[in-house]
A and B are shown apart, each in its own frame.
Chain A
Amino acid sequence: MTRARVYVTLKKSVFDPQGKTIHDALTSLGYSGVTDVRQGKFFEVSLDGVPADQARQTVEEIARKVLANPVIESYRVEVE
């Protein structure tokens, strides 16, 4: 069993209305030291019967084709 983690985040240039709302809430709760919040997505992908060296390639492909929209998002893959 191979486990991979995929982090999908909005590109830096893309405005994140959800992150801003969370940031506003934190500010109103008194967390004055918080300067910004960006919301993203986190996926745990389990693979069986895929050799470790291929797992990264497969998950990278899944991230590129499905999990992230390249117009607005970037992704990062970690394989255990």
Chain B
Amino acid sequence: MKVGVVVFPGSNCDHDAYHAVKHVCGQEARFVWHKDADLSGLDAIILPGGFSYGDYLRTGAIARFSPVMGAVKEFAAQGGPVLGICNGFQILQEADLLPGAMLRNRTVKFLSQPVHVRVERDDTIATAGVPVGTVLTMPIAHGEGNFFMPDPELDRLEAAGQVVFRYVDAAGRLDDAANVNGSARAIAGVCNSSRNVVGLMPHPERASEGELGSADGRRIFEALIGSLVRA
């Protein structure tokens, strides 16, 4: 199986994601330039973190008009697994592939620190095989990660089981202090209704080997690869 890592101008976690897939998990991977709309031969797509197009206008707002995004939409519509990390998550929101929008962090500061997130669903392409309630430690690095949706829509999102990760304390408990960016209902990651498109703000690729301080992120890549094996 082969994983495509999309490269936008301003992506800066593309090589990390590629490394995690290829060298940590031992799977084939290739980069996909944002002007390239050909995803043939790929079994999964990762939209990596970074600052696509300098995050001008809004995070992800320009990147979603890249030629590759039409192909990603089609890929997702056919059930292909798509994982968006940080800026990749924001691009998927702007492209209407994932719900919600990101506001500036409530502290108005760029936050670069490890966080704990709790797995809320084990039936998505990024969490299959990771038991609900598992606490993963991974870094965040963003200025706009304050997840927002109007309350009635949040209720529908929760009822549909589309909240995949929440910010928690080390023991896995919801705690306002642990929700560092102020996200609505401490949401750190969501999926689409078909569960094949997942976005999260923390960086699993920066926590995929012990040398990086945590290997918890590797479980997300393993889940993604596992979802391909079963498909």
Chain A residues with CB under 8 Å of chain B are: 10, 13-18, 21, 66-67, 69, 71-72
Among A14, A16, A17, A71, the residue within 8 A (CB) of B105 is: A17
* Of A15, A21, A67, A69, the contact of B94 (CB 8 Å cutoff): A69
B148 beta carbon closer than 8 Å to chain A:
yes
13 contacts between A and B (CB under 8 A): A13-B150, A15-B106, A17-B105, A17-B182, A21-B108, A66-B65, A67-B57, A69-B58, A69-B94, A71-B93, A71-B100, A71-B148, A72-B148
- Which 3 A-B pairs rank lowest in CB-CB distance, beginning with the nearest? A71-B101, A17-B104, A72-B101
Min CB distance B74 to A, Å, is: 19
Distance, CA A6 to CA B114, complexed state (A): 39
Question: Across the two chains, which residue of chain A brings its CB closest to B93?
Answer: A71
Q: Are B107 and A17 in contact (CB under 8 A)?
A: yes
Bound-state Cα–Cα, A46 to B101, Å: 29
* Chain B 89-148 residues near chain A, CB threshold 8 A: 93-94, 100-101, 103-108, 146, 148
Q: Using a Cβ cutoff of 8 Å, how many contacts connect chains A and B?
A: 36
The answer to whether the Cβ of B170 comes within 8 Å of any Cβ in the partner chain is: no
Band of interface residues on B: 10 to 19
Chain B contacts to A: CB under 8 angstroms: 57-58, 61, 65, 93-94, 100-101, 103-108, 146, 148-150, 182
B150: chain A residues within 8 A (beta carbon): 13
Q: A14–B61 contact, CB under 8 A?
A: no
In whole angstroms, what is the CA distance A16 to B105 when docked? 10
CA distance A15 to B183 in the complex (A): 11
- Interfacial chain A residues near B61, Cβ < 8 Å: 66, 69
8 other contacts beyond A15-B103, A16-B103, A18-B104, with CB at 8 A cut-off?
A15-B148, A17-B106, A17-B108, A17-B146, A17-B182, A66-B57, A69-B58, A72-B101
